[in-house]
Amino acid sequence: PDLFQAPDYYNIDELLTDEHRMVRDAAREWVKKEVSPIIEDAAQQATFPTSIVNGLAEIGAFGPYIPEEYGGAGLDQISYGLIMQEIERGDSGVRSTASVQSSLVMYPIYKYGTEEQRKKYLPKLASGEFMGSFGLTEPDHGSNPGGMVTNFKDKGDHYLLNGAKMWISNAPFCDVAVVWAKNEEGRIHGLIVERGMEGFTTPETHNKWSLRASATGELIFQDVKVPKENLLPGRSGLGAPLSCLDSARFGIAWGAIGAAMDCYDTALRYAKERIQFGKPIAGFQLQQKKLAEMLTEITKAQLLNLRLGQLRNKDKATSAQISMAKRNNVEIAINIAREARQILGGMGITGEYSIMRHMMNLESVITYEGTHDIHLLITGLDITGIPAFK
Ligand code: TGC
Ligand code: FAD
């Protein structure tokens, strides 16, 4: 197929390994063939395209860095990032499904679960037989998840879970949910809740203008009996879910560049073909300024991602470094989407092109996994040592 143009202005390809390029190209080809042709329809109809689940599993999008013995792809962090980049060229909602499955469901089970939990859930999550969701946010606790009220009580042979989570990606169709709740001492723990447990429901959130090809919903727990073996024993406290967010935010830093690349690529092609006042609009300085600035920002963000990936491969990336990349890259992507849309004039508002969909999707991406403000405050705290959250 006619692959997307990279762009790769600084020959970053030279810094990648053969494996990185192979993994990336396979994901790129699959997105072009299987996602791009169907995604606009899915977004217009506000449905998650379940037909692509097997393909996502095949390109290694479910647990790219989870070891192969548990069904994962056993890849490094840069390959993980490249897969997310290519998926988000297609659509941020599809990347959301992959992010949640990999970093927010498989990662905590791998990292904090028992060997039995790993064996029971990870291979099925890697193959897409099970789909997962991650419940941290609540109606009254978004940026401040430490204030959560969802709770569980020890009833001897099981836990009794009560509460509600909101804005949960994959919730409407998930088979398993990793849910964060407080015990009787107020300590946060992760629990694996399975569809079919009595008192557990997942109503869908309708009428979104953003991330329409991703299913979002609530997780509601009314006296749900959760077997004791479903508690993740490896870590408790807010740091446990936040460490999962580190991994997901890293993937988003790469993914956002994918959306930006698609907007740039589309705008450049259009600008070269669209004639006004007797010449291609690409020949006007105002349009060149837009295109030149887009490419500059994409290139800077690519370098940020690559270096962050190298640090993560050595387990040396700090949470604050990840926050900076997530914040910067989503911001430049949303600005690029807005500029690219203008280059297409009236055509830019239609579903004939991907740009308006990316632009609306990125409004969610700039809010979830820590809002733009919260990531700035994380950098502020890192610089000054003084938390400005409260
Ligand atoms: P604070 O007192 O700073 O920290 C509590 C404990 O957590 C530790 N910690 C971390 N540990 C690991 N990784 C991190 N990134 C960590 N950040 C903090 C910290 O050391 C402390 O440990 P301990 O042992 O001392 O208890 O917590 P705070 O309550 O002041 O909050 C800090 C703040 C605001 C930065 C944090 O709450 C935050 O990041 N809020 C944003 C919430 C958020 O990002 N929610 C995302 C929900 S999931 C989602 O959006 C999925 S969308 C996915 C998709 O569809 O792609
Ligand atoms: P609030 O926290 O109420 O923030 C509102 C505004 O106040 C923001 O601009 C914020 O930056 C600002 N603000 C808040 N606190 C401060 C402060 N201390 N200083 C300055 N400004 C502040 N969550 C999950 O757990 N799992 C998921 O799978 C998931 N998927 C999502 C999918 C979508 C499509 C969306 C939109 C959200 C999803 N979320 C998910 C929730 C997401 O993480 C939250 O929306 C986000 O953390 C912000 O919380 P909030 O919406 O309650 O906003």
> How many A from CA of 149 to the centre of ligand 2?
16
Instruction: Tell me the ipTM for this assembly.
Output: 0.97
- Are 103 and 64 in contact by the 8 Å Cβ rule? The answer is no
Atom of ligand 2 nearest to the CA of 369: 43
Of 138, 190, 195, 188, nearest to 164 (Cα)?
138
Mean predicted lDDT score pLDDT of the chain: 97
Average pLDDT of span 243-269? 97
pTM of the model: 0.97
Which residue's CA is minimally distant from atom 49 of ligand 1? 369
- The verdict on the CB of residue 373 being under 6 Å from ligand 2 is yes
Closest CA to 105 of 139, 75, 74, 130: 130
Mean pLDDT, range 23-49, rounded to an integer: 97
Residue with tokens 């990870």: 122
Both structure tokens of 161: 């879970």
CA distance 348 to 355: 7
Taking the CA atoms of residue 349, residue 352, residue 353 and residue 359 in that order, the dihedral angle to the nearest 10 degrees is 40
SS3 193: strand
pLDDT score at 6: 81
| The two structure tokens encoding residue 122 | 């990870």
What local confidence, expressed as pLDDT, does residue 186 receive? 98
370 backbone dihedrals φ, ψ, rounded to 5°:
95, 120
Specify the pLDDT at position 331. 98
- Confidence class for position 5, pLDDT limits 50, 70, 90: confident
Measured CA to CA, the distance from residue 176 to residue 276 in angstroms comes to 54
Task: State how far the Cα of 57 lies from the Cα of 39, in Å rounded to an integer.
Answer: 18
Report DSSP state, residue 128: T
Any ligand 2 atom below 6 A from CB of 378 = no
pLDDT at 4: 73
Distance (angstroms) between ligand 1 centre and the Cα of 326 equals 14
369 is catalytic: yes
Does residue 1 have a pLDDT over 50? no
Q: Does the CB atom of residue 295 touch ligand 2 within 6 A?
A: no
Backbone region of residue 278 per phi and psi (left: phi > 0; alpha: psi in -120 to 50; beta: other values): left
Ligand 1 center to 241 CA (angstroms): 7
143 Cβ closer than 6 Å to some ligand 2 atom: yes
Ligand nearest to the CA of 369: 1
b/e burial code for range 208-229 (CB count within 10 A of at least 16 → b): bebbbbbbbbbbbbeebebeee
* 35 Cα–ligand 1 center, Å: 32
- Which of the residues 86, 88, 331, 369 is marked catalytic? 369
Q: Alpha carbon of 266 to those of 11, 84, 161, 294, 320: distances in Å?
A: 21, 19, 48, 12, 33
